[in-house]
Amino acid sequence: MGLKPIKTYILITNFSPPEVILLLKKQTRKLVRWGSSNTLIISLPREWTKRNQLTCDQEISVMENPDGSLLLLPPTVASEQSVLSANIDSQKYPTKEFLDQIIQTKYLSGHDLINISSKQAFTQKRYQEITQISQNLLGFEIISKTPNQITLQDVMSIQQTNLTLLIRMISRTTLELLENLIQALQENNITLADAIIQSRDNIYKYHMRIVRQLRKALQYPALLTQMELTAQDTLDYTTYVTTINDIAENIETMSRAVLKQPHPPKNEHHQATIELLKQTLQLIQQATGAFLFHKIQDAVDTLNTIIKIKEKKRETEIQMDKETNMPGIVTLQIILDSMEKIAEAARPIAQAALRQSL
């Protein structure tokens, strides 16, 4: 009895720096029964085996993707990953800000080696600028310096990076910043408000590293499979960490407002703002928990709570508008506006949590 046709999808990859070569032309293979067992086998495309110099005695890796398709990897792909390098002419980007954006772009694009060169010898100021920029690239270190070139290299491989740990770390740190902000506002603690601003940089570093890893995984299907992620997972994780970074930015804005008005009067409006911040903290705790631990009900409750917090925010503003000359009114308004943005940021987190859970 002949075998019934079975629809199969096999992705065969070969990393040939700096590109991933895919078997673009669709081919079909007949499933053949092996001996008297129920094992089915197929032949591999001759072009692919020849390109990867495979013989009958070698082994290839077979991994099943979350969608049920199979990923076949030749030995060189299974054991090694090509190193992507980028060359940047420092003289084309005279300001630190301009150069910073270019280096960050190469970092996020998945380059493992970044060479920054100049025909003229670097000035001491330029050396310091590049050193400062490199400190914001989590996992990268300066491995060599010459008068005309500085080389940055990723010393944290994607396999060694614990993506889940980084995501939980950025979540916990952001929640701690919001807790510290509430304390700073309650106690008029300028030192704590300033510490929040300094700590915010760490969240940005975590955010950049996670986005880099996810982009890198999308470039290499084998890495995506090894990380047990789908393309949809990478989109949800990117949305999550980007939103967390936005929340941290709004916490920084509120902290700067506290520094400008270090001793606001402690009245009913001040207390109402603090209470709203506490509710917002609980909201973000609920939203991040829904995403990290796949809690469907918490995700649904988050979406409903956002509306309630925004309504209370408007009620507080109406009461504050009656006292336009009240000292510290501008500070409280800045805090309320940033708080509303944080509450609204819980929406994409909750929506991503639902996609992950359902």
Out of 79-83, 153-157, 205-209, the most confident range is 205-209
pLDDT the model gives residue 7? 39
**Residue 107 shares a structural domain with residue 29:** no
**Residue 135 shares a structural domain with residue 180:** no
pLDDT the model gives residue 76? 61
The answer to the question of residue 41 being in a domain is: yes
Per-residue burial over 134-167, b if 16 or more Cβ lie within 10 Å, else e, is: bebbbbbebeeeeeeebbbbbeeebeebebeebb
Q: Work out the pLDDT band at 262, boundaries 50, 70, 90.
A: low
CATH number for position 175: 1.20.58.220
Least confident piece of the model among 8-17, 126-135, 273-282: 8-17
Please say which residue of 105, 121, 154 terminates a domain: 154
CB of 206 closer than 8 Å to CB of 166: yes
The answer on pLDDT for 159 being more than 60 is no
Report the DSSP beta bridge partners of residue 351: none
CA distances from 293 to 124, 220, 297, 299, 310 (A): 48, 27, 11, 11, 26
The answer to the question of residue 3 being in a domain is: no
The answer on pLDDT for 6 being more than 80 is no
pLDDT the model gives residue 66? 63
Q: Work out the pLDDT band at 264, boundaries 50, 70, 90.
A: low
The pTM of this model reads: 0.79
Tell me which residue range forms the domain holding 49: 10-79
Please say which residue of 31, 55, 79 terminates a domain: 79
**Residue 48 shares a structural domain with residue 103:** no
Which helix (H) or strand (E) element contains residue 327? none
The predicted-structure confidence for 53-76, as pLDDT tens digits, reads as follows 888 888 887 877 666 777 777 776
**Residue 14 shares a structural domain with residue 144:** no
Ramachandran quadrant class, 86 (left: phi over 0; alpha: psi -120 to 50; beta: rest): beta
**Residue 141 shares a structural domain with residue 171:** no
pLDDT the model gives residue 9? 43
**Residue 241 shares a structural domain with residue 348:** yes
pLDDT the model gives residue 72? 79
Report the DSSP beta bridge partners of residue 150: 116, 145
The answer to the question of residue 48 being in a domain is: yes
Residue 32's identity, in one-letter code, is V
CB of 255 closer than 8 Å to CB of 179: no
Average pLDDT over residues 16-36: 63
CA 22 to chain centre: 27
The answer on pLDDT for 220 being more than 90 is no
Strand, coil or helix: 13: strand
The answer to the question of residue 198 being in a domain is: yes
The answer to the question of residue 5 being in a domain is: no
CATH number for position 150: 3.30.110
**Residue 322 shares a structural domain with residue 234:** yes
Please say which residue of 28, 45, 79 terminates a domain: 79
**Residue 105 shares a structural domain with residue 51:** no
pLDDT the model gives residue 132? 95
The answer to the question of residue 1 being in a domain is: no
Rg (CA), the chain: 26
**Residue 167 shares a structural domain with residue 309:** yes
In this structure, the strands spanning 61-64 and 70-73 are antiparallel
**Residue 50 shares a structural domain with residue 97:** no
Q: What domain count does the chain have?
A: 3
pLDDT the model gives residue 65? 67
Higher pLDDT: 165 or 250? It is 250
Least confident piece of the model among 33-42, 78-87, 118-127: 78-87
CA distances from 326 to 26, 35, 187, 276, 336 (A): 72, 88, 19, 19, 16
The alpha-helical segments, DSSP class H, found in the chain are 46-51, 75-79, 96-108, 124-134, 163-187, 190-219, 221-226, 231-260, 268-293, 296-321, 329-357
pLDDT the model gives residue 82? 64
**Residue 188 shares a structural domain with residue 133:** no
Average pLDDT over residues 315-340: 88
The answer on pLDDT for 145 being more than 80 is yes
**Residue 125 shares a structural domain with residue 69:** no
